[in-house]
Amino acid sequence: MKPSASPAGDKARLSRELVLSTALALVDSEGLEALTMRRLGQELNRDPMSLYRYAANRAALLDGVTELVLDELAIFPEDPDWQSQLRNIAHDLRLLALRHPNVVPLLVTRPLSTPLGLRPLGTLRPLEQILSLLIDAGFEPSDALHVYRAYYGFLYGHILNELQEFIVDPEENEALLRLGLHRLPPKEFPRLRALGPVLTDYDGAAELDQGISILLAGLAAPLAAAKTSKKPQ
């Protein structure tokens, strides 16, 4: 829910939490480009200069928004069922992305411009927690890192694909019209147009669960083999 700007003379006391939650609401409603110190000051009914106490610049604001969203992700590294945990995290992150689609670029691409150790701590906690989960489950530390990379590579790929499944007219019964595929030249895109009924039946949660099942089966196989080889003969 978007925080309402405080009327003049009835200003809410500024805090980092209020600044970031208002910034997130602004990004949710109008996109990343709308987030500036000046615009955020307007939303809070404050002089933009007063916000620099809570975020040194726009980049720090973006980092704070990313941390705020990732704080909604529940990870329990002490859970002995690592596969169940990874499945739950995947579905939770998908729902986060659907609630905050304008924040997805921050989650997926922004870290590429920042060395690992210089990223905000809140953005690194999921990595630390999942590594703990996997290492405690029996993975070697280096293998746990490979699992994490494969897992998040799949997960972010799925999220980006799902966000592209945009329905133009949800009330339209005809698949081509629902997706806007009728605008594509038939001779150039015959296969894509023919897949209209399949595309409109897209179930993001089911697709994710099927993909996670395949991924987890592949990841679990080497771990099971390693445990078997360590058993006394």
pLDDT (mean) for 137-160: 93
pLDDT averaged over every residue in the chain: 85
Could you give all domains of the chain from N- to C-terminal order, each with its CATH number? 16-55 (1.10.10.60), 75-165+202-230 (1.10.357.10)
> Can you give the pTM of this predicted structure?
0.78
User: Does position 4 have pLDDT exceeding 60, yes or no?
Assistant: no
Per-residue pLDDT band for 7 (boundaries 50, 70, 90) equals: very low
CA distance linking residue 52 with residue 58, whole number of Å: 9
Find the range with the poorest average confidence among 26-30, 61-65, 173-177.
Answer: 173-177
Rounded to 5°, angle at Cα 156 from 152 and 159: 140
**Winning range, highest mean pLDDT, from 52-61, 171-180, 220-229:** 52-61
Q: Which two tokens stand for residue 171?
A: 């009330």
pLDDT (mean) for 52-58: 93
Contacts of 57 (CB under 8 A, 6+ apart): 37
- Asked if 209 contacts 87 with a C-beta cutoff of 8 angstroms, the reply is yes
User: Does position 152 have pLDDT exceeding 90, yes or no?
Assistant: yes
Find the range with the poorest average confidence among 9-23, 53-67, 162-176.
Answer: 162-176
Per-residue pLDDT band for 6 (boundaries 50, 70, 90) equals: very low
Residue 198 pLDDT: 66
CA distance linking residue 220 with residue 200, whole number of Å: 33
